[in-house]
């Protein structure tokens, strides 16, 4: 019985940490900030490429 409570308590602790991390990401909108940074990096890479568009 003691090991069952230990396992349940460990699962609750892990889920609490995951919930806390997800809340911080949501609260400060970190996912959109990361995507905006990645978008500018990709644009910088493709802006340096030589264009060869011919119509």
pLDDT in tens, 17-48: 999 999 999 999 999 999 999 999 999 988 88
Residue 51, pLDDT above cutoff 80: no
Which two three-digit tokens encode residue 1? 């019985």
Model confidence at 50, pLDDT cuts 50, 70, 90, reads confident
- What values do phi and psi take at 24, rounded to 5? -65, -45
**H/E element holding 54?**
none
DSSP 11-50: HHHHHHHHHHHHHHHHHTTHHHHHHHHHHHHHHHHHHHSP
Per the CB < 8 A criterion, the answer to whether 31 and 25 are in contact is yes
pTM above 0.85, yes or no: no
């Amino acid at each position: 019985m003691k090991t069952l409570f230990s396992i349940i308590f460990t699962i609750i602790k892990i889920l609490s940490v995951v919930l806390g991390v997800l809340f911080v990401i949501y609260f400060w909108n970190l996912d959109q900030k990361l995507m905006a940074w990645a978008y500018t990096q990709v644009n910088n890479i493709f802006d340096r490429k030589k264009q060869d568009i011919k119509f």
